[in-house]
Structure 1
Amino acid sequence: MKDIKVESFGKLAGGQEAFLYTMTNKNGMRIKVTDFGAAAEAVLLPQRSGKHRDVLLGFDSAAGYENTGLYLGATIGRYAGQIRGGSFWLNGEQYHLPVNDHENTLHGGARGFDKHCFTAVPDEENNRVAFHAFIEDGEEGFPGNLEVESSYELTDDDEIIMVHTARTDKDTVLNMTNHSYYNLDGHTGGSIEDHRLKIYSDQFLELAGDCCPNGNVLAAAGTPMDFHDMTRIGERIGQPYPQLIISGGYDHNWNITGPAGRLKKVAELESSRGDVRMEMFSDLPGLQFYSGNYLDGSEKGKEGCAYNFRGGLCLEPQYYPAAPNYRQFPPAVLRKNETYRHTIKVKFTYD
């Protein structure tokens, strides 16, 4: 059994106190998670110097997460990515949502799961913290009362296992993921362009001019979107390729090959010096890779660090963005009395 450290993470605007939970494994690796937004706050890898390298962007208190629009470390819902036009049809009924990204709904709308304070259930025997929330029918326009759990487990194999589950009393759309920003050089390490990335996919979703998928699937081979082999992220990010111009870099969904519903490797990431490596696994058919194009240093993170342009990257396993708008995409529908379950596993190795 391992001790899970619990400490105050400051007060929210409404006066409620948030908390931070720290898990440690036998190797000295630590992760910190908070009940506000069920967010990952830090991933601390032990170094030969005796110090730790924190490879996750984040804030020093819950107020930072409450006030940011960057979704740092947060659990995303009800719908990761965009819903085109802020509406979708389900069971013959049209649902209208608030728009917060061009004319689309992004990451669940104005108040997604990232702005909820969850109830924490620490499990010291399994080195795990589960966060629970009840999302009411009609919140942000989505149907169904939703019981949600988002959990983090730290194993002695230096793995973080994140599990998202939910049940609803009415058919709804649901797409949950984790929105951590990684920088394997350390959260103060600067640009991620010298990181090397491999994505287990040969296809990606084409974006329209509003950065939302337009329903088309394109081949990655022969384009700057090809990460079939380990590739330096900055190698082609500045090329005049229309899809990169639209989003100012990478911010696309790759279609993951392999059987649906089975945990499989979706990506590998390596620090600029090659001394930290990360493997990511998921059981959903999509992976959003975002290269931190909208980071601009305007918000101060941990230790007062300004997170500048491309100072972190996101790898978000999920259903396809905009799937409720396109019948050709794998459906992201949770039926009444069925259970949604999405598992993400992230494994670290370090020198």
Structure 2
Amino acid sequence: MTTEKSNSATISEDTFGIMNNSTKINRYTLKNEKGMEVCIMTYGGIITSLKVPNKNNVIEDVVLGFDSLEAYTNPKYTKNCPFFGALIGRYGNRIAKGKFSLDGEEFKLATNNGPNHLHGGVKGFDKVVWTVTKTKSDNRSASLVLTYLSKDLEEGYPGNLNTKVTYTLNNDNVLEVDYEATTDKKTIVNLTQHSYFNLSGDYSKPILDHEVTINADKFIPIDATLIPTGELEDVTNTPFDFRMAKTVGKDIEVDNVQLKRGFGYDHCWVLNNQNQGMRLAATAYEPISGRLLEVFSDEPGIQFYTSNFLNGTLPSKQGETYGHRTGFCLETQHYPDSPNQKDFPSVILNPGETYHTKTTFKFSTK
């Protein structure tokens, strides 16, 4: 293992595994002066672990994932599409019937989620090997810069898309994810990070006791195939009202057609104050550990997912399995199916433009 160090923040590198008998997959560990650390591998840009202190300063891993590269690439595990910790692209979330049009030309994508396209296709950004172009550490932060060229018509998307994602961990226990992309043809893009959190640090415990807030007055209802209906629905007097903190489990089993369609929460919320740029989007608090996660973003939406499809078949990092609802995702993004929904904010990227968005995950205790 090699370590680059300057004062208090460090970044180190080791080999996580070998793919296809030849491709070395490296893992980078960013660590700050408070002992928080995040491990990221070049396969999928995946966060394999994220260790943060609890209220007693006990440092534990709070994201779901696997212990080995083999597990991340094993078709037996990936067929259920957990996307643990991965970078998602070109398009996060669902596109109806795997197709969209630009300037009258129709583009067809893989339908890898029943009748719909999900998270970039059969081999999205979560399954490619990213290139590390820069590592940096100084007295307050450590950064890792990953790049990937998605070639024209890869997974059906037009344009050569040059993508850069920068992970930065600072001494305030903040993990920043900064996304950039450029294209040589008109295209669509919607990138996100797909970590599953369990702030207890104990993956055998469901996340139903976590107290969540989402800064949104509306959410996006879905049809029976999990595609947006095109409406924006007020959260008032619905199980989707998280404007004041409430436990995940409080309303998740309520008799509600939207919860039945998602098998729980698997919806995009319309974040408030979209003209303000970076702002608080959501929080999650686990009372026993005292850990508090605050998510800040400049995106218009956030997908809150309560791991409704985990069923005890995937091995956990603690020697057990990941049971039903043992993790939650807060995926900052544009709305699902935006290319086919004329009233949703645009996800089009033109040549000469730069796609740029940022999300930060701030950890503390109370």
Would you call these one fold, judging by a TM-score over 0.5?
A: yes
Specify which of 266, 284, 292 is matched with residue 307 of structure 2: 292
Quote how far apart the aligned CAs of 1:305 are.
3.1
Match of 1:180 in 2: 195
Question: In structure 2, how many angstroms separate the alpha carbons of the residues matched to 1:304 and 1:231?
Answer: 31
Unaligned runs of 5+ in 2: 1-5
1:307 equivalent in alignment to 2:322: yes
Question: In structure 2, how many angstroms separate the alpha carbons of the residues matched to 1:305 and 1:24?
Answer: 27
1:41 equivalent in alignment to 2:48: yes
Match of 2:181 in 1: 166
1:141 equivalent in alignment to 2:153: no
Unaligned runs of 5+ in 1: none
Match of 2:240 in 1: 225
Quote how far apart the aligned CAs of 1:51 are.
4.4
Specify which of 119, 124, 127 is matched with residue 115 of structure 1: 127
1:234 equivalent in alignment to 2:235: no
Question: In structure 1, how many angstroms separate the alpha carbons of the residues matched to 2:275 and 2:92?
Answer: 18
Question: What secondary structure sits across from 1:216 in the alignment?
Answer: coil
Question: In structure 1, how many angstroms separate the alpha carbons of the residues matched to 2:54 and 2:261?
Answer: 39
CA-based RMSD: 1.5
1:325-336 equivalences under 5 Å are: 325-336=340-351
Deviations 1:171-214 (A, max 9, x none): 10000000000000015242000101000001011100011212
Question: In structure 1, how many angstroms separate the alpha carbons of the residues matched to 2:228 and 2:274?
Answer: 23
Deviations 1:201-255 (A, max 9, x none): 0101110001121211111110001101001100010011000011110000000
Task: Give every structure 1 segment of 4 or more consecutive aligned residues whose post-TM-superposition deviation is greater than 4 Å.
Answer: 47-51
Inter-CA distance 209–250: structure 2 relative to 1 (3 Å threshold): same
Inter-CA distance 49–196: structure 2 relative to 1 (3 Å threshold): closer
Question: In structure 1, how many angstroms separate the alpha carbons of the residues matched to 2:69 and 2:178?
Answer: 22
How many residues are matched? 351
184-193 or 164-173, larger mean C-alpha shift:
184-193
1:17-166 equivalences under 5 Å are: 17-47=24-54, 51-67=58-74, 68=78, 69-120=81-132, 121-125=134-138, 126-166=141-181
Question: In structure 1, how many angstroms separate the alpha carbons of the residues matched to 2:123 and 2:202?
Answer: 26
The answer to whether the 8 A contact 1:13-1:63 is kept is no
The answer to whether the 8 A contact 2:55-2:365 is kept is no
Specify which of 313, 319, 322 is matched with residue 334 of structure 2: 319
Question: What secondary structure sits across from 2:318 in the alignment?
Answer: helix
Quote how far apart the aligned CAs of 1:98 are.
1.0
Match of 2:3 in 1: none
Quote how far apart the aligned CAs of 1:303 are.
3.4
- Identity among equivalent positions (%) equals 35
47-56 or 278-287, larger mean C-alpha shift:
47-56
Question: In structure 2, how many angstroms separate the alpha carbons of the residues matched to 1:47 and 1:177?
Answer: 26
Quote how far apart the aligned CAs of 1:272 are.
4.0
